[in-house]
Chains A and B, each alone.
Chain A
Amino acid sequence: MFLALLTAFAVALHTIEAGLPNPTPWLRLGLANIITLLTLVIYGFRDGLMVSILRIVIGSIITTGLFGPTFFMALSGGITSTVVMHLGWRYMSCFSLIGTSIMGAYTHSFTQVVVAYFFFIRHGEIFMLLPIFLITAVITGFINGLATHILYNHLIRLTHSRP
């Protein structure tokens, strides 16, 4: 089953990215979302959601503890962004993979901040971070979307058909 392979890739990307030196907390590249989006467009919503959740669970076990605050934020962000990306890809065909990825990244960041506000830091100041998070999301969404786009086209060329 290729889903297991994809999940493994996603977890690997997540873990490696967590190991990269990063001066700014929470400004992450979200490389694993490349796999999430790829799974979404190839296999559909259910499988895409499954890969996404599995990646976050396993990734959280490896990097931080399970059920910490980061886990819940990541999970909420991941689920909502997967839903949004699926809706965007399926029902709004005017967007390319890159646009869809940007939508997902944006939703992911926004949801994380909202969850952090309601469950962890009930200070309005946290929304001061929103603009920088959102702009970062657009940029990283673009990069991840580009990677997904290249991967997808590559897969089509390899298999000579839409997967």
Chain B
Amino acid sequence: MKEESVFSHLTVADKILIAALLLVSIFSYTMVKAGFTAGAYASVSVDNKEIIRIRLDAESRTFNFQSAVGPVVVARENSRVRILSASCPNKICIKMGWIDNSGGMIVCAPGKLLIRITGEEKNGLDALTR
């Protein structure tokens, strides 16, 4: 029985096809993800008053503003946000990490700070048929 790899039956055109299709699949993921992030933003509020809206789909940068206990720096990067530095004693809000389009929120209790994702929110499927 001749030993030959299972891939040897592929022609050149096949391999190009496979590579192209895989590329399209991966590319469609980034496109779809971008399509969802459009319009979504992170709403930052201190003491129940919204002070800034951070759009998710823009370049990476940091935002500085004041919380109830002092200055806060929020970073936006890759369609998500997180707190870089805060003036609260426990820094729990920093440990909360990133929030992105899929929902979630960051809370800093001493700073009375709340960051929520809102806007064009699309979270998962509402129905699934089999």
- Whether A102 is near chain B, meaning CB under 8 Å from some CB there, is yes
The CA-CA distance from A95 to B125 in the complex, in Å, is: 38
Q: Give Cα A121–Cα B128 distance, bound, in whole angstroms.
A: 7
| Contacting residues of chain B (94-130) with chain A, CB-CB under 8 angstroms | 122-130
27 intermolecular pairs with C-beta atoms under 8 Å apart:
A64-B130, A68-B129, A69-B129, A70-B130, A94-B12, A95-B13, A95-B14, A96-B9, A96-B10, A97-B9, A99-B10, A102-B14, A103-B17, A121-B128, A123-B125, A123-B126, A124-B36, A125-B36, A127-B32, A128-B33, A128-B36, A131-B28, A131-B29, A134-B25, A135-B26, A138-B18, A142-B18
Q: How far is the CA of A123 from the CA of B36 in the complex (A)?
A: 11
Chain B residues at the A interface, C-beta cutoff of 8 Å? 6, 9-14, 17-18, 21-22, 24-26, 28-29, 32-33, 35-36, 122-130
User: Cα distance A161–B101 when bound, in Å?
Assistant: 59
**Contact call A134/B24, Cβ cutoff below 8 A:** yes
Inter-chain CA distance A14–B83, complex, in Å, is 52
Main secondary structure of the interface of A (DSSP, over half): helix
With A95-B13, A96-B14, A127-B32 in contact, is A70–B129 under 8 Å at CB? yes
Beta-carbon contact of B11 and A138 below 8 Å: no
Q: Is the CB of A130 within 8 A of B25?
A: yes
Question: How many pairs, one residue from A and one from B, have CB atoms within 8 Å of each other in the complex?
Answer: 88
Interface flag for A57 (CB, 8 Å) = no
Question: B13, B26, B33 — which one has the most chain A CB atoms within 10 A of its CB?
Answer: B13
Which of B14, B18, B29, B129 sits near A120, CB closer than 8 Å? B129
When distances are taken between beta carbons in the complex, the residues of chain B under 8 Å from A94 are 11-13
A25, CB-defined interface residue at 8 Å: yes
* A contact residues, total (Cβ < 8 Å): 32
Residues 92-127 of chain A: 1 if any B CB is under 8 Å from the residue's CB, otherwise 0?
A: 101111110011001000000000100011011111
- 8 new A-B contacts, CB < 8 A, other than A69-B129, A134-B24, are A25-B128, A95-B14, A95-B17, A98-B14, A125-B123, A131-B29, A134-B21, A146-B9
| Closest partner residue, chain B, to A70 (CB atom) | B130
Are A106 and B9 CB-contacts (below 8 A) given A123-B126, A124-B35?
no
Hey, which chain B residues are within 8 Å of A103, CB to CB?
Answer: 17
